[in-house]
């Protein structure tokens, strides 16, 4: 039975509203009675919430075991300072179960940031705010709101613990991330990861920024990854900002001889090896492997583990049938064109290589977003010079394909995370186009449950972009486009997956 989110909101919030009304009608002298009533309302709310969980529990299916989820409409708590968030590029959990959110202040609309004050004047001498919006009264034009700093750190209860970075934190860009120090803040914030040593990594996929308004970036394309301490102190940058074209075989060219990136998507550090895997990304079509301490090059690979990277269809009749189905000058056909031509296993990564995540058992899972699939590799075997033109399992570290909703016209796999049982038996995959996250049995690649649907109500998604999991198995999600929010899905029932399931 699908989750009834409208019932959830009414069930959880109505007792709280009632409690507020009760408090308004009791005199100060009735403190004891007020506390008793409050306790009764909270107990009632807990009981109703428990009943709701029972009512929405996923029906048992013979041969299928998987976690179930219910959305928490109270998470996170309201932000201070009239702050608001824009598109959520990335979301991550650290080893202390703090949730890190990377959002895009520059994505907010003029009406959303009415409390922004004058930051400059345009070419006609008219007052504008930092995003270039007119300020006809030469000041704020509404009581709310202003963009929050780009990096937000919450505890498990949803309380904001820290915030820093980005154009809405101007002192940060003046003192802690300056171009003359080798730190260039991305034009469009995209990915965030916090490693086992509490270092924070950020990526961007902005392109063509030209400084049209005070907060606009001026460096051109994002083609770099930044590393900070947990408190926002700059450590290093991989790649120079402003690269103008892909270079999939580049192994240096960046600061200090580190590799040159091109619109990277996301990254993960393997705590066993301290290797940083970068999904590189929207411009390049590869996974780059570097030493997380130094940023120095270790290796790189493309689809099916190939190095050199295959970036365009090859017009032969190999294991995939005819690949030459291009409709663009770069040779990368839209997914429906490939699908109709029978090319369901293209031998190249398409834009974007959206994530690269490492499991405890030493496998690298890569989000090949526009090819609607996840590719799996052995971490100890990828990155070397290797040819796997026939997509053989075991060659070049390639393990398997996991297709995700192949008959979807747009991109599906945006981000992935694992369940918290010892085997990490569940793989959670954020589906951008279908507005849900899939629960996949990692042992066989079958989808065993799907959570959410496209929509704007609590528990639904508008362009689900990224997700992460805390130590209790709760799933946190972030949305881009006009979604612009984070949500928490509380896990209950099983912590892991086992199934016959269904392949999709």
Element at 436 (helix H, strand E): strand 436-441
Count of other CB atoms within 10 angstroms of residue 78: 7
- Distances from the Cα of 34 to the Cα of 12, 22, 37, angstroms: 20, 8, 5
pLDDT tens, 369-414? 999 999 999 999 999 999 999 999 999 999 999 999 999 999 999 9
Task: Give the pairing type, strands 275-280 and 264-270.
Answer: antiparallel
Count of other CB atoms within 10 angstroms of residue 131: 23
Residue position matching structure tokens 């064109």: 337
Element at 491 (helix H, strand E): strand 486-498
CA–CA separation, 33 and 377 (whole Å): 62
- Distances from the Cα of 403 to the Cα of 74, 344, 400, 430, angstroms: 34, 9, 10, 13
- For 179-258, where are the E strands, in sequence order? 189-194, 200-204, 225-228, 234-238
pLDDT reported for residue 323: 41
CA–CA separation, 277 and 157 (whole Å): 30
Count of other CB atoms within 10 angstroms of residue 278: 29
- Tell me which DSSP letter residue 42 carries: H
CA–CA separation, 427 and 448 (whole Å): 10
**Residues whose CB is less than 8 angstroms from the CB of residue 189 and which lie 6 or more positions away in sequence, other chains included:** 89, 90, 102, 103, 104, 150, 166, 202, 204
Give one DSSP letter per residue of 373-418, joined into a string: EEEEEETTT-SSSB--TT--TTGGGEEEEEE--TT-SS--EEEEEE
Query: Which residue, 282, 479, 470, 309, is CA-closest to 385?
Result: 309
pLDDT along the chain (504 residues), means of 10: 42 41 37 48 52 50 85 96 98 98 97 96 94 94 96 98 97 96 97 98 91 93 98 98 94 94 98 98 96 97 96 46 38 76 90 96 97 97 96 97 94 97 98 96 93 94 98 98 96 90 58
Tokens of 122: 């345009």
pTM across the whole model = 0.87
344: left (phi over 0), alpha (psi -120 to 50) or beta: alpha
Helix (H, G, I), strand (E, B) or coil at 272: coil
pLDDT reported for residue 162: 98
Q: 258-262 long-range contacts, Cβ below 8 Å, gap at least 24?
A: 258/290, 258/294, 258/295, 258/296, 258/297, 259/288, 259/290, 259/297, 259/300, 260/223, 261/223, 261/224, 261/225, 261/288, 262/221, 262/223
Query: Which residue, 301, 106, 273, is CA-closest to 204?
Result: 106
pLDDT tens, 316-348? 333 333 343 433 333 456 888 888 888 889 999
- Distances from the Cα of 482 to the Cα of 108, 151, 250, 442, angstroms: 9, 19, 35, 32
Cβ 94 vs Cβ 194: under 8 Å: yes
pLDDT reported for residue 15: 44
Cβ 298 vs Cβ 290: under 8 Å: yes
Tokens of 192: 């965030």
CA–CA separation, 251 and 289 (whole Å): 10
Query: Which residue, 375, 367, 497, is CA-closest to 424?
Result: 497
Residues in the chain: 504
């Amino acid at each position: 039975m699908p989750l009834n989110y409208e019932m959830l909101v009414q069930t959880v919030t109505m007792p709280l509203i009632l409690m507020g009304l009760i408090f308004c009608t009791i005199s100060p002298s009735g403190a004891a009675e007020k506390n008793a009533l409050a306790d009764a309302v909270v107990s009632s709310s807990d009981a109703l919430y428990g009943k709701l969980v029972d009512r929405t529990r996923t029906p048992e299916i013979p041969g299928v075991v998987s976690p179930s989820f219910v959305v928490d409409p109270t998470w996170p708590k309201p932000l201070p300072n009239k702050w608001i968030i824009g598109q959520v590029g990335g979301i991550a959990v650290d080893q202390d179960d703090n949730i890190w959110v990377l959002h895009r202040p520059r994505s907010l609309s003029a009406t959303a940031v009415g409390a922004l004050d004058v930051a400059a004047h345009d070419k006609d001498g008219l007052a504008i705010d930092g995003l270039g919006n007119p300020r006809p009264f030469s000041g704020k034009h509404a009581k709310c709101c202003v963009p929050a700093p780009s990096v937000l750190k919450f505890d498990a209860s949803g309380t904001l613990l820290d915030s820093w970075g980005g154009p809405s934190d101007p002192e940060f860009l003046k003192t802690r991330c300056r171009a003359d120090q080798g730190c260039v803040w991305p034009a469009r914030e995209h990915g965030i990861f916090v490693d086992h040593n509490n270092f924070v990594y950020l990526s961007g996929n902005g392109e063509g920024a030209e400084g049209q308004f005070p907060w606009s970036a001026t460096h051109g394309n994002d083609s770099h990854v930044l590393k900070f301490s947990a408190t926002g102190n700059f450590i290093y940058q991989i790649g120079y900002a402003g690269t103008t074209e892909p270079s999939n075989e580049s192994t240096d060219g960046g600061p200090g001889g580190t590799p040159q990136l091109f619109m990277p998507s996301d990254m993960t550090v393997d705590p066993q090896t301290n290797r940083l895997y970068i999904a590189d990304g929207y411009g390049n079509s590869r996974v780059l492997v570097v030493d997380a301490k130094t940023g120095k090059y270790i290796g790189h690979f493309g689809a099916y583990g190939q190095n050199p990277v295959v970036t365009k269809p090859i017009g032969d009749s190999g294991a995939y049938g005819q690949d030459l189905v291009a409709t663009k000058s770069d040779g990368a056909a839209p997914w429906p064109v490939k699908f109709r031509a029978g090319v369901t296993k293209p031998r190249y990564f398409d834009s974007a290589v959206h994530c690269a995540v490492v499991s405890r058992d030493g496998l690298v899972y890569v989000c090949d977003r526009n090819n609607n699939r996840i590719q799996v590799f052995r971490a100890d075997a990828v990155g070397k010079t290797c040819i796997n033109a026939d997509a053989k399992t075991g060659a070049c570290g390639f393990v398997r394909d996991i297709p995700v909703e192949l008959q979807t016209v747009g991109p599906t796999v945006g981000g992935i995370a694992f369940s918290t049982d010892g085997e990490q038996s569940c793989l959670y995959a954020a589906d951008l186009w279908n507005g849900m996250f899939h629960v996949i049995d990692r042992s066989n690649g079958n989808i065993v449950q799907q959570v959410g649907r496209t929509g704007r109500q609590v528990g639904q998604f508008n362009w689900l972009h990224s997700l992460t999991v805390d130590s209790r198995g709760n799933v946190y999600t972030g949305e881009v486009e006009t979604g612009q929010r984070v949500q928490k899905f509380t896990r209950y029932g099983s912590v892991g997956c086992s199934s016959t399931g269904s392949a999709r």
